[in-house]
Amino acid sequence: MLKEELKMKNIEQVLRSKKIKVTPQRMAVYSVLKNSTNHPNVDMIYKKLKPEYPAMSLATIYKTVEVLKQVGLIQELNTGEGSIRYDANTSNHPHIACIECGRVDDIHDVNIPPCGGELKTEIEEKTGYTVQKQQLYFFGICPDCHK
């Protein structure tokens, strides 16, 4: 069995275990996110799936990303460009967004110290909040827009 198929089988199990039905649309949306590195928004997912699923509506994609988010299979990114992007990598990693073209990239292997349990506790004590998650965004000009 191919690695790719194996991954998808796992997703099916995650959905079923949460009593959420497995549909072609859901698998397709997840597949787009899993196989892309550009953190697409709903419209980009829509356009990507159009050829293969011409009947699929925007509303379905909105509903699907919401479900996938609730289940914890994807996470939202909001860089303030007006639409929400999605990332199938749900680990807590920083992102960098281009203020010219909107492009969003992951930042890997950079030593970002905060966010350990220690910091979380400190913030909870000082603010009175219960901290659930965090997002670190950098903003700048991407290589392409420099040209």
- Give the binding site for DNA (CB under 7 A): 16, 20-26, 41-43, 53, 55-60, 62-64, 66-67, 82-84
Query: Per-residue x/- mask for its own copies, residues 54 to 83, rule CB under 8 A?
Result: ----------------------x-xxx---
- Residue 130 interacts with, from its own copies, DNA, none (CB under 5-8 Å by kind): its own copies
Helix (H) or strand (E) holding 75: strand 75-77
**CA-wise closest residue to 93 among 106, 74, 104, 102:** 106
Give min distance, CB of 13 to its own copies, in A.
28
Using CB distances below 5 to 8 A depending on partner kind, what does residue 72 bind out of its own copies, DNA, none?
none
**How many of the other CB atoms lie within 10 Å of CB of 65?**
24
Residue 21 touches which of DNA, its own copies, none (Cβ within 5-8 Å per kind) = DNA
Residues with Cβ within 8 Å of 87's Cβ and at least 6 positions away in sequence, in order, are 33, 39, 74, 75, 76, 77, 95, 106
User: Which helix H or strand E contains 32, and what residues bound it?
Assistant: helix 24-34
Choice between 37 and 57, CB closer to DNA: 57
Q: 133 or 146: whose CB is closer to DNA?
A: 133
> In angstroms, what is the minimal distance from the CB of 134 to its own copies?
5
Residue 38 beta carbon to DNA: minimum distance, rounded to whole angstroms: 15
How far apart CA 78 and CA 83 sit, in angstroms, is 7
- Minimum distance from residue 39 beta carbon to DNA (Å): 13
Cα 88 off chain centre by: 5
Q: How far apart are CA 36 and CA 88, in angstroms?
A: 9
Q: Establish if 136 lies at the interface with its own copies (CB under 8 A).
A: yes
